[in-house]
Structure 1
Amino acid sequence: MGLKRNAFTLIELLVVIAIIAVLMAILMPTLGRAREQGKRIACLNNLKQMTMGWILYADDNDDKVVPANTGLSNAWVLWRDPSTPEETRIEGIRQGRLFRYCPEPKLFKCPTGVRGEVVTYAITDAMNGYDGIPGTEKLMVYRRMQIKRADQRIVFLDEGRLSPNSWTLWYDQERWWDQVTARHGDGTNFGFADGHSEYWKWKDPRTLQVAKMDYDLWQSSGRNGAESTQPGNEDLHRVQRGVWTKLGYEP
């Protein structure tokens, strides 16, 4: 009668380890995508609630939309220098006009936001923001009743970090002004004037070049360089139409 085997041989153990390694290689990208999908959904929900707060503010203020320029004392959120303590920057959220309608600071930031930042969303210039974009005088929105096709008008987007202004985009040029983000699978989330939110995945590699450029480099030279001008970029066209309703040039 032979002896009963109670343990793996070295070869069998190596085979088991190899199988586990293969399974992990297969499962890890799937788990990563699932986590990112969850963050995308959370971000979309944040933007939906922020946009509903934006609508409620107008309902309570004679149809006027909240100021988008965060450097103003009556803006939707008040900008605070990134070098100030986090609690100081959170206080800027609480002092903003939308906190009454969105009374949770975590709603103001994408789950994959910039480390240390407390606000990553922004309102576009068109929605009572910076009014110095050439050719847009008649396209600026100061009351909700001015908005046609609210389901197509962008109010909020995930800018990546808060600036002391509203989010700016050229109207009469095929050109980016402020950066967009590349999150949740190389795209960006938007909140629309009817209260819904959407994820747009970028299709043009040039959009990703803008989105992934170092922030300080973009602010100093990128927005004025060749990288910002992108003829034929459908991503750019789509965002410009969402912000301004139309293109101010022939593509």
Structure 2
Amino acid sequence: MIILKQMYVHNGRKFETLTIRNYTETDVKGLISLQRECFPPPFPQELLWSEEQLDSHIKTFPEGALCALVNGRIVGSMTALIIHFEPESPDHTWVQATDNGSIKNHDPYGNTLYVVDISVSPHYRKLGIGKWLMNTMYELTVYKRLERLLGGGRIPFYHKYSHEISAVQYVEDVMEGKKKDPVLSFLLHCGRSPIRVVSNYLDDKESLNFGVLMEWKNPFYKKTSC
């Protein structure tokens, strides 16, 4: 399945063409530049994509490698792989789920599309580009007849309140409108639902290494009989 979508987004002055497609080898430098722009320190710079990781994404599961372009410039990206997820044993780390970002553990016979990352240039946020990338992954989940889309969301504002409340309470406060978190709030707006707070999910000082597993259930999923 080759993904190629075009639509319009409004930049506050006019509508511009947004293209979402699978990224290829020719996009690697642009994707690395985007990562540096989206995740400056204190985010661990060793977690940014390398050429080797991006090459592995393209070769292992090209359908799950997406980029978004405005005026020919890469302004967003999203990567996913397929895994087998057991809701009864949900705890895991980002490294375990993604094979340290290489996605070489991609399982075409799995039941879950797992989000490795999503990035949107700070200059192009609030245009809905992240939502369009997420919606495209939902479409891929349906096309692949998978049970769900899943991924661990950061909670980068949690460090501001960690001396007062637990990570679980922080998530509840965001959902109740008492606090706002740029990542958690975005994922909720995209239709994702939190199912569990996981400790030591990712090396992330802002989130104190916590991650929130958030899923989107495929409404068209039908479990096949053996």
TM-score (norm 1): 0.26
TM-score (norm 2): 0.28
